[in-house]
């Protein structure tokens, strides 16, 4: 699989790439938004940019297409420390075949350097506060909000919106704003490609806050109680699955259809983003805040269990509605990634 991936990335033959990705999707159960969701967002943007100056610039910066670059920010999660003060070492080989492309000495050194610059510590069970780059993938704006607000509970200076803006800054030749330490266009573009996927995953942007009895509370009203934080749905159980994982998973047939051209065709019909590029990430996150509401409003929550998790139940149409929303969000992600790159490199 490693050799095949390298050939695909090097030759950028859309038909071959589609065939191979389709085969891998058909042979696997539903996988996380990363990798297949992220690869789909990257592939839609690749298709929208075919033949443009922007596409030439992208390839010269990445050495690959966007589809391949889209998983890098998750692959770097394979970098860790055995203890505080120990070296940052990539040890992610094995379970994630989409990272094979980056499993060579030069690429591993690049992943280790990025994590070292963007973390205080990264040993096992480190929080996202100290293994800081992991917090760049999401924000946890309350279901009670109607737009993204950087001052709201769950948002912050190193969340997904700030991370996208940091990448844009570097790609436009400005410094990487603190607390981010993003160096060079290759690193910035790999990260940006991934984060454009995450900012369209409903549960990477919106989170429900619950009291012990399972009633929805407003974390932005009165004194914030950290015990109401459901961690982006990671401590909400939908049957035997975590709610967050349910939304990370996209059905293989959906990804295959989007990759086959349906995604790019639908993306061309979307309205353009207006205003200054530096405000786009905030606007897109606000759009996700609104779009994500059905992910939560269709759920009923039970009392918190002894393990700290809340159970959620829903009607039989939840899965079908989820897939429709996921399709819409993946298409938006691809369209907006292409749109943003055209704005940066016309």
Binding residues for Zn ion (CB under 5 A) = 137, 198
Provide the minimum distance between the beta carbon of 43 and Zn ion in the complex, in angstroms, as a whole number. 17
Output 18 or 243, the one with its CB closest to Zn ion: 243
Q: Is the torsion defined by CA of 173, 175, 180, 183 positive or negative?
A: positive
**Angle CA(305)–CA(230)–CA(241) in degrees, nearest 5?**
65
Provide the minimum distance between the beta carbon of 195 and Zn ion in the complex, in angstroms, as a whole number. 7
- What's the longest Cα–Cα distance across the chain? 56
Provide the minimum distance between the beta carbon of 300 and Zn ion in the complex, in angstroms, as a whole number. 28
The residues, any chain, with a CB within 8 Å of residue 152's CB and separated by 6 or more, are: 141, 142, 145, 219, 220
Output 97 or 311, the one with its CB closest to Zn ion: 97
Provide the minimum distance between the beta carbon of 83 and Zn ion in the complex, in angstroms, as a whole number. 26
Output 228 or 329, the one with its CB closest to Zn ion: 329
Provide the minimum distance between the beta carbon of 194 and Zn ion in the complex, in angstroms, as a whole number. 6
Element (H, E) at 236: strand 236-238
Nearest to 244 by CA among 322, 317, 315: 322
Nearest to 77 by CA among 29, 33, 114: 114
Output 137 or 200, the one with its CB closest to Zn ion: 137
Output 187 or 198, the one with its CB closest to Zn ion: 198
Output 133 or 137, the one with its CB closest to Zn ion: 137
Cα–Cα distance, 176 to 259 (Å, whole number): 33
Output 57 or 200, the one with its CB closest to Zn ion: 200
200: tokens are 């369209």
Q: In this structure, are residues 333 and 266 in contact, taking their beta carbons and an 8 Å threshold?
A: no
Output 137 or 242, the one with its CB closest to Zn ion: 137
DSSP 223: S
Provide the minimum distance between the beta carbon of 138 and Zn ion in the complex, in angstroms, as a whole number. 7
Provide the minimum distance between the beta carbon of 337 and Zn ion in the complex, in angstroms, as a whole number. 14
Provide the minimum distance between the beta carbon of 198 and Zn ion in the complex, in angstroms, as a whole number. 4
* Residue number with the smallest Cβ distance to Zn ion: 137
Burial of 99 (0-12, 13-18, 19+ CB in 10 A): buried
Cα–Cα distance, 291 to 200 (Å, whole number): 9
Cα–Cα distance, 22 to 8 (Å, whole number): 13
Nearest to 227 by CA among 135, 295, 156, 309: 309
């Amino acid at each position: 699989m490693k050799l095949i991936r390298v050939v695909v990335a090097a030759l950028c033959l859309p038909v071959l790439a589609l065939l191979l990705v389709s085969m891998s999707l058909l042979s696997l159960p539903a996988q996380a938004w990363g990798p297949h969701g992220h690869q789909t967002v990257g592939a839609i943007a690749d298709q929208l940019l075919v033949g443009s100056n922007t596409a030439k610039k992208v390839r010269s910066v990445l050495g690959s297409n966007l589809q391949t670059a889209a998983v890098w920010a998750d692959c770097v999660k394979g970098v860790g420390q055995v203890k505080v003060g120990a070296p940052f070492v990539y040890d992610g080989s094995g379970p994630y075949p989409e990272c094979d492309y980056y499993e060579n000495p030069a690429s591993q050194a690049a992943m280790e350097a990025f994590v070292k610059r963007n973390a205080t510590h990264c040993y096992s069970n480190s929080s996202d506060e100290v293994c800081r780059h992991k917090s760049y993938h999401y924000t946890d704006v309350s279901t009670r909000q109607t737009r993204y607000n950087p001052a709201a509970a769950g948002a912050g200076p190193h969340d997904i919106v700030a991370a996208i803006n940091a990448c844009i800054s570097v790609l436009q030749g400005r410094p990487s704003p603190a607390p981010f330490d993003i160096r060079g266009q290759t690193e910035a573009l790999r990260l940006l490609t991934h984060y454009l996927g995450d900012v369209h995953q409903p549960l990477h942007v919106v989170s429900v806050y619950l009291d012990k009895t399972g009633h929805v509370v407003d974390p932005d009203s009165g004194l914030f109680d950290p015990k109401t934080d459901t961690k982006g749905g990671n401590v909400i159980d939908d049957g035997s699955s975590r709610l967050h994982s349910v939304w990370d998973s996209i059905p293989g047939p959906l990804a295959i259809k989007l990759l086959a051209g349906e995604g790019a065709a639908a993306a061309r019909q979307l309205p353009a983003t207006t205003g200054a590029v530096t405000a786009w990430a905030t606007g897109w996150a606000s759009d996700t805040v609104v779009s994500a509401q059905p992910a939560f409003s269709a759920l009923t929550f039970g009392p918190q269990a002894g393990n700290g998790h809340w159970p959620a139940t829903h009607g039989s149409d939840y899965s079908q509605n989820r897939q429709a929303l996921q399709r819409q969000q993946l298409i938006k992600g691809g369209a907006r990634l292409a749109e943003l790159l055209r704005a940066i490199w016309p």
